[in-house]
Structure 1
Amino acid sequence: MTLRMGTIILLTTLALLTGCATRDTASGDALYQDLGERAGIANIVEDLLYRIVEDERIAFQFQGIDVVQFHTNLTDQICEISGGPCTYGGRPMTEVHTDMNVTETQFNALAEQLVLAMEDNGVSTSAQNRLLDRLVELHPQITHR
């Protein structure tokens, strides 16, 4: 296990154990800025999509999706979560992931690919960790129940 993967798993575990139910809206705009605003987030998501199709651990989960719609929805979702002016208009996470049986390994693989996409786009480690802290709130809605 790489140090980066260990960090992702540790952050995920800590956030789940502490409830991570509140969002620090005071630093929301700063995170949005640190991610490069909507254009930067869209670039991160585009790079993530390329990484997904190359990752045999998760690629099959995304077969047959509308890539353009997925890109738009994920960009909007990350934009909103990071404190930006966007509104996520996609389906609820529990509905989207019903019957997908997403495992912990797949969840962590996607998080790993997101970190790599953020690194490729020059996002600081601090901003990466703040975003992951917010995204981990979605964990129970995404993973196999």
Structure 2
Amino acid sequence: MALTLPHHARALVVAGTLLFLLGLCQGVVVSMFANPRMGLSAHLTAVQSGMALMILGLVWSNAAWSKVSEPLSFWTTLAGTIGLWLGLTLAAATGASEALPIAGKGHAAPPIVEAGVATMVILSGGLMIIGWLLFALGLLRSNRR
């Protein structure tokens, strides 16, 4: 049985699969990071976010999209998810901890690295919220039709 998906949906499934695979590989080297606890957080984020992107892709066409909301949701969700994983991985590799004090306890990095990680994590979180909110609104609109 062939599963045919619209362009954005297929791209999300592929991106989710690759992120999931990266997370699995990252799990093998968690103990090698400057901050292994943050490395574990990055690993779990990649695996869980990869699954979320795959699921999102599979249900993507159930949302009622406008010309603006569909690409905006696609790109903000994708960029936010990958950006968060990259930010956590950078924090794990460098010891940056200010943006994530629980997983970063006892670690520190130069101020420029701390600022970069904090910017990535905050911006990525905001992008994901926008993308998922647009998707949720699209699902709600599709129920009204």
TM-score where L is the length of structure 2: 0.30
| More contact order relative to length (CA 8 Å, sep ≥ 6) | 1
Structure of larger gyration radius: 2
More helix by share: 2
